[in-house]
């Protein structure tokens, strides 16, 4: 519970909003972007390091929860809402990637976009760390996963 406390207290409403936006948003994007792409994805050539498909929603649920908690903590530590702008941009880029890669089959564009996403995640982690070290640290697993996804995206693009 200490993770959820900022300045000794938990603001349940703000915490819920901060976590629900990426978790629910990511679930909806996943549904709409991939609902007709699952068969196509199975047919794609994939590198040996590609995890089984069940790993992705499991990992993303944890990452979306962590980034929501990070946003909640960072937002509680600043009056300047522009400090949260990199987070909002990276979340938008995160949601866009699924459409580029799965729905529209634009794997090269998705690769460029995920590289931009990784840059925005890094900037977000830095900004959050300046406000609250825990918030910055909560973004590290997300950056690591997107680094992995960048390599996977590139490999699938080149193999197909």
Q: Where are the domains of the chain?
A: 2-43+54-159
Q: In the 8-state DSSP scheme, what is residue 51? A: P
CA 12 to chain centre: 22
Task: Report pLDDT for 27.
Answer: 95
- Integer Cα distance of 131 and 32 in angstroms: 35
For 51, left (φ over 0), alpha (ψ -120 to 50), or beta? beta
Is residue 9 classed as helix, strand or coil in its secondary structure? strand
Cβ atoms within 10 Å, residue 118: 18
Distances (CA, A) of 50 to 26, 116, 159: 21, 22, 13
Q: In the block, which residue shows the tokens 């070290």?
A: 133
pLDDT in tens, the chain (160 residues): 799 999 899 999 999 999 999 999 999 999 999 888 778 888 999 999 999 988 999 999 999 999 999 999 999 999 999 999 999 999 999 999 999 999 999 999 999 999 999 999 999 999 999 999 999 999 999 999 999 999 999 999 999 9
Beta bridge partners of 9: 6
């Amino acid at each position: 519970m200490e993770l959820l406390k900022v300045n000794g207290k938990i603001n349940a409403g703000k915490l819920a909003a901060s976590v629900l936006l990426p978790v629910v948003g990511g679930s909806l994007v996943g549904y709409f972007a991939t609902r007709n792409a699952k068969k196509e994805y199975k047919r794609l050539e994939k590198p040996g390091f590609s995890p089984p498909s069940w790993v992705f929603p499991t990992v993303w649920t944890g990452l979306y929860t962590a980034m929501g908690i990070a946003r909640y903590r960072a937002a509680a530590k600043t009056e300047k809402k522009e400090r949260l702008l990199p987070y909002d941009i990276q979340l938008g880029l995160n949601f866009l990637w699924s459409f580029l890669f799965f729905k529209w089959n634009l794997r090269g564009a998705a690769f460029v976009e995920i590289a931009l996403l990784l840059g925005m995640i890094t900037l977000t982690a830095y900004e959050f760390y300046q406000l609250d070290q825990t918030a910055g640290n909560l973004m590290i697993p997300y950056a690591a996963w997107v680094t992995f996804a960048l390599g996977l995206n590139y490999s699938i693009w080149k193999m197909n």
